[in-house]
Amino acid sequence: MPNEQTLRAQVRDFVDTVLLPLEGRYLNEPWAAVVGALDGARAEARARGLWAPHLPVAMGGCGLSLLDFAAVSEELGRTPIGHYALNCQAPDIGNMELLHAHGSVAQRKQWLGPLARGEIRSCFAMTEPERAGSNPTWLEARAERDGDDYVISGHKWFTSAADGAAFAIVMAVTDALAPPHKRASQVIVPTTTPGYSLVRNIKVMGDAGEGYATHGEVRFDKCRVPVTNRIGDEGEGFTLAQARLGPGRIHHCMRWMGICERALDLTCRHAATRELSPGVVLGTRQSVQHMIADSRAEIDAARLLILETARQIDAHGAAAARESVSTIKFFAAGVLQRVLDRAIQVHGALGMTDDTPLAYWFRHERAARIYDGADEVHKSVVARRILKGYGVVVRE
């Protein structure tokens, strides 16, 4: 296995030479038209030994620690197709990590193996339109025991990448009378199960997407699956969701740093070449210089915080790093929004087109301040812990 620096350089070269030439097609053509070319990029990633950097070597991956994966994730984040090309895209990466850590031998064979090889895709169905997603202990979906089966009914939305997924990991209540954090379980439901339906791909900022690049509304109408499809013990759904989100937030935050670096690079290239009048480029204007300096400082600060948090998780586990994880989630999401906004401003009308990836990111990454915990929720986690040291105990 190459060391982290070598691997990072190899990933950077792969992004520059294989993915960036494909990016324009991804931004401007339907998924079905580009998926063949993306599969070609995936084959090239395997041939270069870059496949599934988050997975152990024994599973065909690179066996990276979270800290090392963070560096790779930043390189991949420079293009919207980076993580998909190396099979470490959300939500599959979270499902792979979950099954690897908590799946039974049979579940790993049936579902993790094909996921790791990139033969199938998956989705994660927790959020419901009728319930506040910010309170994941309050769910309507039910998994009722019937002999050796669960019968699952529920209505979910923002089930990312449901379109084309082979299975969903569903969060559903298995014991409504248990304490709130012990009520739900996570159960694998193959999308071929009678009663499962993808209602629609939800339009997000005007774009419903297609295939992998979608967010689905899905229904489970008395879906019958064996009890052996449950991941972990009954009532452990919330605990597993928390375990998934620690590393998951590092993945997202470092991907955002990659987006920020690319946005700043595009900003500087444009500032250096766009002439306001003959021989006078945009970069000579102080307001543009200040935008560049603000973005540089904010990206560097966010990255340091994220890497320190990844180090804490590697050393002490996700639970011990909870406050840091919440800090980076809202801080890095804010940096991402501001850096993209400045980049679009400097590009003028060009920034509003899909001739660069900026508008795509601006549309799709506004959600960064909402998914995996809204800003306000994370800020409350951080502030409550700080205030506890001053004797202030806030009860929800």
Ligand X SMILES: Cc1cc2nc3c(=O)[nH]c(=O)nc-3n(C[C@H](O)[C@H](O)[C@H](O)COP(=O)(O)OP(=O)(O)OC[C@H]3O[C@@H](n4cnc5c(N)ncnc54)[C@H](O)[C@@H]3O)c2cc1C
Q: Which residues bind ligand X (CB under 6 A)?
A: 91, 124-127, 132-134, 158-160, 204, 215, 367, 370-371, 374, 376-377, 380
Interatomic CA distance for residues 371 and 358, integer angstroms = 20
Helices 286-316 and 322-347 meet at what angle, rounded to 10?
Answer: 160
Nearer to ligand X, 143 or 307 (CB): 143
Q: Please list the residues that pair with 375 across neighbouring strands.
A: none
Nearer to ligand X, 91 or 154 (CB): 91
**Closest among 68, 112, 127, 116 to 89, alpha carbons compared:** 116
Q: Kindly state the smallest distance separating residue 210's Cβ from ligand X, in Å.
A: 15
Q: Kindly state the smallest distance separating residue 318's Cβ from ligand X, in Å.
A: 17
Please give the residue whose beta carbon sits closest to ligand X in the complex: 133
Strand pairing report for 196-201 and 215-226: antiparallel
Q: Kindly state the smallest distance separating residue 368's Cβ from ligand X, in Å.
A: 8
Nearer to ligand X, 133 or 235 (CB): 133
Nearer to ligand X, 124 or 196 (CB): 124
Q: Which residues contact 359 (CB under 8 A, 6 or more apart)?
A: 344, 351, 352, 353
Question: Which amino acid, 175?
Answer: D
Task: Tell how many helices (H) and how many strands (E) occur in the chain.
Answer: 13, 10
Nearer to ligand X, 18 or 126 (CB): 126
Q: Kindly state the smallest distance separating residue 373's Cβ from ligand X, in Å.
A: 6
Q: Kindly state the smallest distance separating residue 84's Cβ from ligand X, in Å.
A: 15
Nearer to ligand X, 62 or 184 (CB): 184
Q: Kindly state the smallest distance separating residue 314's Cβ from ligand X, in Å.
A: 25
Nearer to ligand X, 17 or 134 (CB): 134
φ and ψ at residue 202, rounded to 5 degrees: -75, 135
Q: Kindly state the smallest distance separating residue 36's Cβ from ligand X, in Å.
A: 25
Q: Kindly state the smallest distance separating residue 13's Cβ from ligand X, in Å.
A: 30
Nearer to ligand X, 204 or 305 (CB): 204
Instruction: Give the DSSP H or E segment for 151.
Output: strand 149-160
Nearer to ligand X, 14 or 167 (CB): 167
- State how far the alpha carbon of 390 is from the alpha carbons of 305, 381, 396, in Å: 24, 15, 18
**Dihedral, 313, 317, 319, 322 alpha carbons, nearest 10:** -10
- State how far the alpha carbon of 187 is from the alpha carbons of 61, 77, 109, 168, in Å: 25, 30, 16, 8
Q: Kindly state the smallest distance separating residue 44's Cβ from ligand X, in Å.
A: 28
Nearer to ligand X, 151 or 204 (CB): 204
Token readout for 96 is: 């792979």
CB 237 within 8 A of CB 184: yes
- State how far the alpha carbon of 384 is from the alpha carbons of 135, 313, 326, in Å: 17, 21, 12
Q: Please list the residues that pair with 230 across neighbouring strands.
A: 187
Residue 11 CB-half CA count within 13 A = 31
Interatomic CA distance for residues 311 and 90, integer angstroms = 21
Q: Kindly state the smallest distance separating residue 267's Cβ from ligand X, in Å.
A: 25
